Amino acid sequence: MNEIHFGRVASVRIGPNEDLVAGLEAAAAQLGFARTLVRSGLGSLIDVTFEGRVGQRGPGFEIACLYGELGPDVASISGVVGDPAGHVSAGRFLRGANPVCVTIEAILEEILPDNV
């Protein structure tokens, strides 16, 4: 059985017009996390596009749930969003197609190598 070991935990903020996935990757890299677990997050997106789906244009979407993993060989960030009319959708966010509206606040946790 493989065990996963965790290290540091950080709260990060992604600002307006940054891409959600790229912003989380940049925050993890700035913290020096080689592999990262995205524990949670809240905030707003201008537009939202999930992998394998046509994008939805704003005026804005609220993130109700955010989770995933980042690393050298993975960038898998999923979540649940709601639009102003109350419609809810979920999926894996497409990198480069989810611009932040006001802000995203996320909790990142470092995944340590197996030999630690």
Residue 1: predicted pLDDT? 52
Helices in the chain by DSSP H: which ranges? 20-31
Domain that holds residue 75: 5-109
In a domain, 58, yes or no: yes
From CA 6, how far away is CA 109, in angstroms rounded?
7
**Residue 53, number of CB atoms within 10 A of its CB:** 12
Q: Is the pLDDT of residue 98 over 60?
A: yes
Structural domain total, the chain? 1
In a domain, 116, yes or no: no
In a domain, 64, yes or no: yes
In a domain, 59, yes or no: yes
CATH for 29: 3.30.1330.80
Question: For the segment 5-54, what is each residue's pLDDT rounded down to a tens digit?
Answer: 899 999 999 999 999 999 999 999 999 999 999 999 999 999 999 998 88
Q: What share of the chain is helix, strand, coil (3-state, %, to 5)?
A: 10, 55, 35
Question: For the segment 48-95, what is each residue's pLDDT rounded down to a tens digit?
Answer: 999 988 888 877 899 999 999 999 999 999 999 999 899 999 999 999
